[in-house]
Amino acid sequence: MNHQFPAILIGGPPHSGKSVLIYSLTRALREARISHYVLRACPDGEGDWAYQLPQDQVRAIRVKGEFTPQFTQRVISYLQHRPLPLLVDVGGKPTPEQEEIFAHCTQAILLIGHRADDPGAFARDLQTWQAMMDRQQVPVLEIFRSDQQEPQRLRASQEGEFRTLSALERGSLVHGPVFETVIDHLSSLMRDAERSLSAIHKRLLPPGVHFIDLPHLAGKLGDPQRHWQPADLPYLLEQIPADQPIAVYGRSANWIYAVLALAARVPPFTMFDAKLGWVTPPVLPRRAHLPGLDDWQTRLIPEGADFLLEMNTGSQYLDIDEPERIPLPPVPEGKGLILSGRIPHWLVVAVCQQLAATQSWVAVYQPAPLQAALVVASQRPDYPVGQLIPWHTPAAKKHS
C-alpha cells in the first residue's frame, strides 16, 4: 500500500527549528482530520510529549540515541511499508550512509536558518541540503528561511525569494499565512481524510473481527480533537462485543489501548500501529536481562509496598518480530505496578497482558497530558480501572 502515501522529509541544519515546525504541522493536520504519522528518522527520542510538557521535565525524560546501521535499516523498512502518509523528521547532520533514508521519501521541505553571526551560512547550508536532495532524487516542495527576529512574510534576498518562518522556539506553535499555505499543500498531498483511511485499513481485517475506530468514537462524543479522558472509559468499554475479537484503530493514548486490550473478551487483540499496520502484541520472555541486549533496558524499582517497572530502548525502534530480545524481568506477584518508559504502544499492551493477572493492580504512566499513571487492570476495589495515580518518573523527580 505504500505507493499510495507520501513520505515528506523535513530537513535542514541543526537549530533551524525543524522539530518545532514538525510539531506545528502535525497538530494542524490533525485538526484538519488528515491522517498521517511523524516518523522520527533520527534517534533523539522526542515525540509530541516533548512539546506538551514543561521543558525541564522534557530534559529529564529524553533519551538520546545514536545512529547505527540497524537503526537506519529499520527506518527504511518503515518507509517502504508505510501504512499512512508520513512526515519524516531527519537529523541535522546526516552522514552519507544516513542519506539512504532520504531516497525513500517522496518529497522534501527544507528549513534553513539565518544566522546573524554568519551571514553566509544560509547559502552554504542551502547548497548542502539541496545537493543531498539532488543525490537522492527527492523533489523539494518548499524552501523556508527561519529567522528568530522577523515576522512571517515573503522575503526577497540575494539567495532568491524564500518565505520566512520566525520565532521557531521550543514550546511554541507556528501560525500565520505562510504556515497556512504549507498546511494546504500537505493536505492536498495527503488527501485521504481520516474516515477514508480507516475504511481502507478496516478492509484488511479478517472476517468476524469487530472494528473500533477511536477517532470516529471521539467525534460521536462531540469533540474529535480532544484527548481521551478517564471519564470516557465506560463509553469505550461499551464498544467491546461479548462474542467477537476486536481490532482498535486510530491515534490515542497508551492507556486507552491497554484498557481495551485487557477488557477484550475474545482473543486475539489486534491494534493498529502507524509504522507497522495491524499487529498483535507478542508474548515476551520472562527472564533477567542478558548481555548483548543493549537496546533494551528495564529497571524494577520498589515504591513502598509496590513497584515501578521502568522500560526504555536505546535504539528507539524495537522489533515486534524479535520478542526474545525484549525480556520482562521477574516481578513479585500480588503487588501494585506502575509501567513507565519510552516504548511503543504495542509493547505497553504486551506487558499489560502478561502482568495483569499476577499483580494486584497495573497502571500505565502517560507523561502528557495526564502527567500521571492510570490504572488499567486491578484486583483491588480501592484501585479501580481509570483511577489516576499522581506520578513523576524518577528522572523527572530529580528536576522538580
Instruction: Give DSSP secondary structure letters for 121-174.
Output: HHHHHHHHHHHHHHHTT--EEEEEEEESSS-SEEEEETTEEEEEEE---TT---
Strand order in the sheet with 372-378: 297-303, 306-312, 336-341, 361-366, 372-378, 388-390
Task: List, in order, residues 6 or more apart from 111 with CB less than 8 Å away.
Answer: 10, 11, 12, 16, 17, 18, 21, 144, 146, 165, 168
What is the rounded distance in angstroms from the CA atom of residue 88 to the CA atom of residue 330?
37
Residue type, 300: L
Q: Contact, 212 vs 248, CB < 8 A? A: yes
Task: List, in order, residues 6 or more apart from 223 with CB less than 8 Å away.
Answer: none
N- to C-terminal Cα separation, the chain: 46
Query: Which pLDDT tens digits describe the chain residue by residue (400 residues)?
Result: 455 799 999 999 988 888 889 999 999 998 888 889 999 888 764 544 444 444 344 344 344 556 677 888 889 999 999 999 999 999 888 888 788 999 999 999 999 988 778 888 899 999 999 999 999 999 999 998 887 555 555 444 434 567 777 655 655 677 778 888 889 999 988 876 566 788 889 999 999 999 999 988 887 876 655 678 899 999 999 999 999 999 999 989 999 999 999 999 999 999 999 999 999 999 999 987 666 666 788 999 999 999 999 998 866 678 899 999 899 999 999 999 999 998 999 999 999 999 999 999 999 999 878 889 999 999 999 999 999 998 765 544 443 3
Residue 399: the pLDDT is: 36
Residue 256: the pLDDT is: 95
* Helix/strand/coil (H/E/C) assignment for every residue in 38-86: EEECCCCCCCCHHHHCCHHHHHHHCCCCCCCHHHHHHHHHHHHCCCCCE
What is the rounded distance in angstroms from the CA atom of residue 319 to the CA atom of residue 287?
18
Residue 170: the pLDDT is: 58
Q: Please state which architecture CATH assigns to domain 2-190.
A: 3-Layer(aba) Sandwich (3.40)
Q: Provide the CB-side half-sphere exposure for 139 (13 A, CA).
A: 5
Residue type, 327: P
Domain spans in the chain, listed from the N-terminal domain onward? 2-190, 195-398
Residue 315: the pLDDT is: 62
